[in-house]
């Protein structure tokens, strides 16, 4: 009885037109275990959509973000990553290999806003924890 993660239905519910490319991109993200870049998506779908443009991937992930089906994560260097996990959560970033891991805060942050930002209206926040992932730690020389 649990909500089926059907790409077509999700698109329809979001009020987006269902195209083969959109369906494939959303399905890819639903199946993908991790935080895919546009290029990850693009290359993975080359076989099935040899003529799909990289613009289409950009357009699609942007719209999926706008309707809240995915979340864009821009950490450190390089390309944005797209996260099918849209719950509020945060990320560990490996400074060696760029790997990303989800994590959750045990309690929400409490911040002291400086006078010059008095009245700042908080929408949301994201914590980026940098460090060395277990895999890179193992391979370390030192």
Partner DNA sequence: ACCTAGATGAGAACGATTCTAAAGTACGAC
Partner DNA sequence: GTCGTACTTTAGAATCGTTCTCATCTAGGT
133 binds Zn ion (CB under 5 A): yes
140 binds DNA (CB under 7 A): no
Supply the minimum distance, in Å, between the C-beta of residue 119 and DNA. Answer: 27
- For residues 80 and 116, give the distance between their C-alpha atoms in angstroms, rounded to a whole number: 31
27 binds DNA (CB under 7 A): no
The binder of 12, among Zn ion, DNA, Mn ion, none, by C-beta within 5 to 8 A per type, is DNA
- Paired tokens of 31: 């199946």
Q: At what angle do helices 20-31 and 54-66 cross, to 10 degrees?
A: 70
- For residues 93 and 73, give the distance between their C-alpha atoms in angstroms, rounded to a whole number: 11
Supply the minimum distance, in Å, between the C-beta of residue 120 and Zn ion. Answer: 9
- For residues 59 and 9, give the distance between their C-alpha atoms in angstroms, rounded to a whole number: 19
The binder of 107, among DNA, Zn ion, its own copies, none, by C-beta within 5 to 8 A per type, is its own copies
Helix (H, G, I), strand (E, B) or coil at 57: helix
- Segment near its own copies (CB under 8 A), from 3-11, 39-47, 50-58, 132-140? 132-140
Helix (H, G, I), strand (E, B) or coil at 29: helix
Q: What residues make contact with Mn ion under the rule CB under 5 A?
A: 83, 85, 102
């Amino acid at each position: 009885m649990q909500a089926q993660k059907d790409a077509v239905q999700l698109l329809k519910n979001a009020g987006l037109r269902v195209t083969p490319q959109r369906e494939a991109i959303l399905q890819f993200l639903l199946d993908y275990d991790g935080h895919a870049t546009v290029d990850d998506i693009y290359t993975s779908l080359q076989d099935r959509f040899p003529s799909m443009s990289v613009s289409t991937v950009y357009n699609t992930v942007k719209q999926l973000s706008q309707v809240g089906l995915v979340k864009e994560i821009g950490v450190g260097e390089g390309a944005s990553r797209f996260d099918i996990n849209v719950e509020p959560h945060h990320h560990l970033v490996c400074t060696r290999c760029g790997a990303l891991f989800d994590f959750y805060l045990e309690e929400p942050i409490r911040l002291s806003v400086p006078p010059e930002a008095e009245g700042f209206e908080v929408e949301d926040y994201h914590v980026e924890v940098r460090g060395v992932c277990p895999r890179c730690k193992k391979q370390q020389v030192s």
